[in-house]
Amino acid sequence: MSESAKSSRASGLLLHITSLPSAYGIGDLGPEAYRFADFMAASKQKLWQVLPLVPTGYGYSPYAAPSTYAGNAMLISPDRLLEDGWLTTDDVGVLPSFPVDLVAFADVSAYKEDLLIRAWKRFSSHASPAERKAFDTYCETHADWLEDWALFETIKQDHDEKEWMTWRADLRDREPSALIAYQAENADQIAMRKFWQFLFEQQWMDLKSYCNERGIRIFGDLPIYVAQDSADVWANRHLFTLKEDGYPTTIAGVPPDYFSETGQRWGNPLYKWDSMRATGYAWWTSRMARILELVDLVRLDHFRGFEAYWEVPASEETAIHGQWREGPGADLFDKLEKNLGDVPLIAENLGVITEGVTKLMGRFGFPGMAILQFAFDSDESNEFLPHNYREALVAYTGTHDNDTLMGWWSDTASTQNAEQIARAKAYCTEYLGLESGHEAEQLSWKAIESLMHSVARYVVTPVQDLLGLGADARMNTPGTTNGNWGWRLAPGALDAGVGARLATLTEASDR
């Protein structure tokens, strides 16, 4: 692991870009992102954790992306495009009355795509030779994934956004003559999608540099699997467990457990790890190199699956009838270190974790995660209680997959009965030292304080918990497909008072 991941104690905030305030209906890489960076710097925070920056997939989830390499064009700031001359005020027009507290994804996507099309037309007709050269250089530098992505998106639009497995056979199967002909016929549309990636890259790297200059590192997120309906699978069929028609033979998931009698059937195609190994893990090296261009620290989601993974036949309706398969283990991470040098990874090791996973993390020095919400359902030996933390750890009040702390306090887990809920609340009250009658108003800050004073190397707090927001501010509910990912921060909510209190706690806890 690199020195950037081994460095001294630090704390930060979890807030995805889409959750920032913006007049355009969705958080973006414009002025409010810089204001948030300024708030973080003033409050002594050193880590800004975001969700995957990729285009969203089914249910607008950033964990079901049609590309693991591309950036989400919906994050491009119209304000920045106005500054750069790629849009005019007439292009923007009168803004629709988007909701302030929630992303109306369909309406936002339609509006912003129209703006991005206008930006491309202006670039095509007005760009200077230097600007065209910068775009061409970007396309050449990223050709290994950008060509496939832009082509995939253009063909997909031509097929009414249907899955690539249902496309015209010659395009589905990437027959060279068919692809060459299609590229010639649709050159402008393909170039436009490359341009959007160029804009994203410019705006994102400007923001990242602004953060880095202020001592803030970007903490990114990399899912272990990629979506079936993605440019990644379409362009690399030999690396996935697929049939000749492109549909998967086996898929990812997790077996039945305390939370689900039928397990979780995720649906992602599984990797052919033997094929990956035969190439020296070239695809994984490329994937990891890409995200390390964009972020400083990476949370590797479902780390368990690298040691052993649950294989489910694609024909099964649930994840019950699967089997454990050996993952690539240390071999993959040895190759990544050989190819890329020390890689700053955090292992998402929540759930049932085996000794093999713990050994794998220990061998490479990957910190794990601890979630305070999981700490109060047993006794003082619970590993998620702050007094049981180890140094190599990222401690959270909750993640994007949890309810907010206040939501948890109000409802706790639906799998618990009234007696269990009462016992968990009583233990939480005692452990955090909450005053009788003032538990709810004290909960968030007492919880954050307990993590900040722990030995954990990093502490990351969702902004919702910093502000003591309720369940309506929850970002995602696993196992559901509607109503997720849309929460947005109210303008001005992170005021100087909140920042000063956080700064004081950060300094007192030596972070």
Asked if the model's pLDDT at residue 414 lies above 60, the reply is: no
Give the domain CATH number at 340.
3.20.20.80
The residue among 84, 99, 116 whose CA lies nearest residue 24 is 99
163 falls within a domain: yes
Which secondary-structure segment (H or E) carries 129? helix 129-141
302 falls within a domain: yes
- pLDDT tens for residues 89-118? 999 999 999 999 999 999 999 999 999 999
Give the pLDDT of residue 260. Answer: 82
Active site residues: 301, 348, 401
Answer yes or no: are the C-beta atoms of 505 and 81 closer than 8 Å: no
- pLDDT tens for residues 259-273? 788 999 999 999 999
Structure tokens at 164: 């690539």
- pLDDT tens for residues 364-374? 999 999 999 99
433 falls within a domain: no
To 5 degrees, how large is the angle CA 37–CA 374–CA 445? 45
The most distant pair of C-alpha atoms in the chain lies apart, rounded to whole Å, by 74
135 falls within a domain: yes
Residue carrying the six token digits 């909510």: 493
Pick from 252-261, 262-271, 325-334: least confident: 252-261
Asked if the model's pLDDT at residue 204 lies above 90, the reply is: yes
460: left (phi over 0), alpha (psi -120 to 50) or beta: beta
Give the pLDDT of residue 7. Answer: 57
Q: Between helices 282-294 and 330-340, what is the axis angle to 10°?
A: 60
Quote the number of domains for the chain: 1
To 5 degrees, how large is the angle CA 116–CA 118–CA 124? 105
Residue 352 — pLDDT band, cuts 50, 70, 90?
Answer: confident
* Residues 164-181, mean pLDDT to the nearest whole number: 98
Residue 413 — pLDDT band, cuts 50, 70, 90?
Answer: low
Asked if the model's pLDDT at residue 441 lies above 60, the reply is: yes
110 falls within a domain: yes
Query: How far are the Cα atoms of 16, 225, 276, 325, 334 from residue 329, in angstroms, in the given order?
Result: 30, 15, 13, 11, 9
* Residues 236-240, mean pLDDT to the nearest whole number: 98
- pLDDT tens for residues 110-141? 999 999 999 999 999 999 999 999 999 999 99
- pLDDT tens for residues 275-308? 999 999 999 999 999 999 999 999 999 999 999 9
* Residues 155-169, mean pLDDT to the nearest whole number: 97
Give the pLDDT of residue 285. Answer: 98
* DSSP of 401-465: TSPPHHHHHHH--TTS-HHHHHHHHHHHHHHHTPPTT-HHHHHHHHHHHHHHTSS-SEEEEEHHH
Which residues, in sequence order, are CB contacts of 133 under 8 Å at separation 6+? none
Range of the domain at 296: 3-367+457-508
- pLDDT tens for residues 20-55? 999 999 999 999 999 999 999 999 999 999 999 999
* Residues 185-212, mean pLDDT to the nearest whole number: 98
452 falls within a domain: no
